[in-house]
Amino acid sequence: MRSIRVKNKMIGDGYPAFIVAEMACSHDGSIEIAKKIIDAAAKARADAINFQMTSLPDYMVPNYSAGGVSHGKGESDIYGYLKKIFWFGETEWKELFDYANEKDLIISVTCNDIPSAKLAKTLGADIYQIHSSSLSEENLVKTVARIKKPICLKIGGTFLGELEKAIFWIREEGNEEIMLLHGFQNYPTKLKDVHLRFIPTLKKLFSLPVGFADHTDGGSELALVVPLLALPLGANFIEKHLTHDRSQKCEDFESALNPEDFKKFVNNVREVEKTFGEESMHIFSEDELKYRQISKKRAVANRDIGKGEILKSEDIVFKRSDKGIFPDESKFVIGRKLKFNIKENDPITWDSFE
């Protein structure tokens, strides 16, 4: 499977999980809130921050009503509501790009339209995400592909045929730096819709790095558990929503973690990764060798045996003991003559015989 380099990070099998803090629209149109979220991502030691860049007139018709906004907003005019959030222009985005760069965060951008993709290129984004809503838009997909930067395809609600076509378009433009991101946002996503077992299937089908975008309820205890479950199933990167304060219920708060929980989430990922080890039989660590020495049963005398006696199989019993040969070695000492007395439960060792 191909691995992808983004600055000084590698994404793929055999590397630590790449962690993306998804800001989405949780800044609610505030530069200051956006900076707080960037601060939280950096403090938690996430690898990247993801911005959603949208030129609303190029993305949505004014009378769009099929979707929705975060709970409790009570907005019927979705376009008007989102217009208040998506007002950032080049000046504002540059300020946020510069701020994230100062924090040593890799910058990922979900480009929802061609003007946003071009702006992200001007500002120097490191990763370009294409949302599932845009995967069938050939012109947008190819525009992003031509930037020749790593591309992450968000595939929630996407048929395999649509995904194959998008990958083909990207490769047509000479870009092989492709990743897939499994998961969709349903404010929040129900557990039954998570489908973690699809991750290894995607890896087998496409031989590309696959990530998991977790959108379970950010207020649930499972919000810190579900992303971890994706790791042993082969997820190469994890994207998790981050907000500055869930209690303020900014846009996209449903799946987002507070800063302290996001930091705990990142730490949990790094700790859990230590447990994976090797797929094949490995060289024992010092602790494993010590465990073997103290836990394996040994051969000990089943009775008092005198010097010069010939050892019989019924003279041996296997018990936990500090010394003694191992059970599978005992057949090599049956029939040999003892060179000293051995009491019941004394170890039978190689030097017990003439």
pLDDT at 69: 67
Q: Does domain 4-273 have CATH number 3.30.9.10?
A: no
Name the amino acid, one letter, at 274: K
Task: Give the pLDDT of the chain (354 residues) as one tens digit per residue.
Answer: 889 999 999 999 999 999 999 999 999 999 999 999 999 999 999 999 999 999 999 999 998 887 666 665 656 688 998 999 999 999 999 999 999 999 999 999 999 999 999 999 999 999 999 999 999 999 999 999 999 999 999 999 999 999 999 999 999 999 999 999 999 988 899 999 999 999 999 999 999 999 999 999 999 999 999 999 999 999 999 999 999 999 999 998 999 999 999 999 999 999 999 999 877 788 888 998 888 888 999 999 999 999 999 999 999 999 999 999 999 999 999 999 999 999 999 999 999 999
Dihedral sign for Cα 202, 208, 185, 270, please: positive
Amino acid at residue number 19? I
DSSP code at position 221: G
For residue 121, which of 133, 109, 131 has the smallest C-alpha distance? 109
Determine the pLDDT at residue 76: 67
Q: What stretch(es) of the chain map to CATH 3.90.1210.10? A: 286-352
Query: The tokens of 220 are what?
Result: 């649930």
Rounded to 10 degrees, the C-alpha dihedral 175/181/187/191 comes to 170
State the alpha helices, DSSP H only, in 185-283.
Answer: 198-206, 226-230, 259-273
Rounded-to-integer distance, Cα 102 and Cα 10, Å? 21
Distance (Å, rounded) from C-alpha 71 to C-alpha 244?
A: 17
* Contact assessment for residue 9 and residue 106, using Cβ atoms and an 8 Å cutoff: yes
Do the strands 9-11 and 4-6 form a parallel or antiparallel pair, or are they unpaired? Answer: antiparallel
Residues of the chain within CATH 3.20.20.70 domain(s) are 4-273
Q: What is the pLDDT of residue 73?
A: 60
- How far, in Å, CA of 38 to CA of 91, rounded? 17
d(CA 310, CA 335): 5
Q: What does DSSP say about strands 48-53 and 18-24: parallel, antiparallel, or unpaired?
A: parallel
Map residue 306 onto helix, strand or coil.
coil
Report in angstroms the alpha-carbon separations of 259 from 87, 99, 217, 241, 256.
25, 18, 15, 10, 9
The pTM (predicted TM-score) of the whole model is 0.87
- Give the pLDDT score at 1: 84
Q: What is the pLDDT of residue 13?
A: 96
Domain 286-352 fold is Type Iii Antifreeze Protein Isoform Hplc 12 (3.90.1210)
Q: What is the pLDDT of residue 71?
A: 61
